[in-house]
């Protein structure tokens, strides 16, 4: 029981952190307030979706914790891999950086 409570508290904390990150990104990109005007709308939307995948998996992990806290921990680890392993956003930025002229 203690293990399950700990897993739920951790998941809730991660959801709050992820939603704060989403709000920061949404604020920074609305009307290109704090980002380059060259950033495409598609990239902004893609990053929003990637950010929101975390809270979605955390909610699933919290639900799984009621019958398997270990499965929840595995899901938490998978979310970390989602953010660590380079994906479409990282590849877009790498391609853009390689295409930009050097001064």
Query: Model confidence over 41-78: pLDDT tens digits?
Result: 988 998 999 999 999 999 999 999 999 999 999 999 99
Please name the residues in contact with 28: beta carbons below 8 A apart, sequence gap of 6 or more: 34, 35
3-state helix, strand, coil in the chain (%, to 5): 80, 0, 20
Cβ neighbourhood burial of 41 (10 Å; 0-12, 13-18, 19+): exposed
Percent of the chain with pLDDT over 90: 65
Q: Is the pLDDT of residue 97 over 80?
A: no
For residue 73, what are the contacts with CB-CB under 8 A and spacing of at least 6? 7, 61
- pTM listed for this prediction: 0.81
């Amino acid at each position: 029981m203690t293990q399950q409570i700990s897993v739920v508290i951790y998941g809730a904390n991660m959801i709050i952190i992820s939603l704060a990150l989403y709000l920061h990104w949404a604020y920074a990109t609305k009307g290109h307030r704090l980002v380059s005007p060259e950033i495409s709308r598609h990239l902004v939307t893609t990053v929003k979706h990637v950010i929101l995948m975390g809270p979605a998996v955390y909610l699933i992990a919290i639900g799984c914790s009621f019958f398997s806290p270990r499965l929840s921990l595995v899901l938490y680890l998978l979310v970390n891999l989602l953010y660590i392993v380079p994906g479409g956003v990282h590849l877009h930025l790498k391609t853009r950086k390689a295409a930009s002229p050097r001064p």
